[in-house]
Structure 1
Amino acid sequence: MKIKVCGMRDPDNVRALEQLPVDYIGFIFYPKSKRDVSEKSLPNTKGLHRVGVFVNEDNSEILKWVEKWDLTHVQLHGDESPSQCLELRRCNVVIMKAVSVDDNFDFDSLLEYESSVDYFVFDTKGEERGGNGIAFNWQKLEEYKGNIPFFLSGGIHRDSAAAIKAVNHPQLFAVDINSRFEKSPGLKNIESIKSFIYELQN
């Protein structure tokens, strides 16, 4: 299972993360987020897919950051339409569409995105656009019958590995961790991430 660590900001923290078997690193380009990197310098990363997270941003602005930060993936965490996703996808970036899930969510609403995104990110519906630190009911995933692989996000913490391994879904591609592994917003606890990955992969 692939691992994404989102909300990174500190260059030294990024370098420490690179030593772990992590596949994706997420940078948030959203001024309202405590983990926003819009005013930060580009941190060096080696061998990781670089994901830029945007919320209801114009495609021209997104592509500016894609070029400046050499992003390989764009995660759209707002109310972006299938046509906006498709337009970006045609610009040679991988598109991840975040979806806020609660007990009332209808997965059939995602059918219109089937031809315009590469992955979904199933996150918990909460007060913030991500980073709420709470998990939705993962049994709800049984209702997802789509063909697009997904990242599981929302409230995952150090002791979640066993529950994640119990999720038997053919489209579960990766886990996406963030706030529950932080010492402070944007500063990750590397040892906790290391322990979590070990438990998940063994």
Structure 2
Amino acid sequence: MKLKICGMRDEKNILAVAALHPQYMGFIFYPRSPRYVGDDFKVPALPSSISRVGVFVNDPVSLIMEKVDRYALKYVQLHGGETVAQCKALRQEGVGVIKVFSVDDDFDFNQTRPYEEVADFFLFDTKGKYYGGNATAFDWKVLEQYNQKVPFFLSGGIGPDNVEAIQALKGMNIHAIDINSGVEESPAMKDTQKIGTIIHVLNSIS
């Protein structure tokens, strides 16, 4: 099971987390997020094994592609109401698409079906006040209602205290876990010891 660390911004912290070799690292380009990278952000040199993911909310394809080119993003993570046509257009530009769905106990997984042919991955996050980073986990049992056709990232309040429970999802098409606020000292600053604990647990249940 792969690991994505999202909401990175500080250069030294990025390099410290990169030394732990997560497969994905996420950078948030949504200005209203407390983890927004800002206008002058620069990504330090990262190992080629770490895929760069840009997080966007309801931005036009042209703006997203500008960021993709500027920051050498391999994937875009779409947290808003992006259409199937927008996802298709981005894939045609050669960038991978991670389409996000906000999940609660009443979520209808039929909402994912139109995106099955235009997304490389889905990401299931906790429905809350914010576009991600709500620091709470949804009831993972609802994932039994998902048809498992598109591999998915699991997000929402995952930290050292509950990561072992992911063992119960091993039979599902889970590609990676996405951690953010559950390992933070402050917005955008990650605790490498907590990440190390999560990596140890993931290795034990893989």
What TM-score results when the alignment is normalised by the length of structure 1?
0.97
The Cα of 1:198 is off from its aligned counterpart by 0.5
Q: Which residue of 2 aligns with 1:72?
A: 74
For structure 1, list consecutive stretches of 5 or more residues without a partner in the other structure: none
Q: Is the 8 A contact 2:25 2:51 kept in 1?
A: yes
Q: Which residue of 2 aligns with 1:87?
A: 89
The Cα of 1:94 is off from its aligned counterpart by 0.5
Count of aligned pairs between the two proteins: 202
User: Given residue 6 of structure 2, which amino acid in structure 1 is its aligned partner?
Assistant: C
Q: Is the 8 A contact 1:142 1:169 kept in 2?
A: no
Q: Is the 8 A contact 2:3 2:177 kept in 1?
A: yes
Q: Which residue of 1 aligns with 2:34?
A: 34
Cα distance in 1 between the residues matched to 2:100 and 2:38: 20
Corresponding residue SS for 1:166: helix
RMSD (CA atoms): 0.9
Q: From 102, 105, 109, give the equivalent of 2:104.
A: 102
Q: Is the 8 A contact 1:29 1:38 kept in 2?
A: yes
Q: Which residue of 2 aligns with 1:142?
A: 144
For structure 2, list consecutive stretches of 5 or more residues without a partner in the other structure: none
Q: Is the 8 A contact 1:11 1:43 kept in 2?
A: yes
Q: Is the 8 A contact 1:111 1:146 kept in 2?
A: no
The Cα of 1:59 is off from its aligned counterpart by 0.6
Q: Which residue of 2 aligns with 1:62?
A: 64
The Cα of 1:21 is off from its aligned counterpart by 2.9
Q: Which residue of 1 aligns with 2:8?
A: 8
The Cα of 1:97 is off from its aligned counterpart by 0.3
Q: Is the 8 A contact 2:148 2:172 kept in 1?
A: no
Cα distance in 2 between the residues matched to 1:81 and 1:12: 36
User: Given residue 70 of structure 1, which amino acid in structure 2 is its aligned partner?
Assistant: A
Q: From 171, 179, 182, give the equivalent of 2:181.
A: 179
Between the aligned residues of both structures, percent identity stands at 46
Corresponding residue SS for 1:104: coil
User: Given residue 41 of structure 1, which amino acid in structure 2 is its aligned partner?
Assistant: F
Could you report, residue by residue, the CA deviation over 1:72-105 in whole angstroms, capped at 9, with x for unpaired residues?
0000000001111000011000000010000110
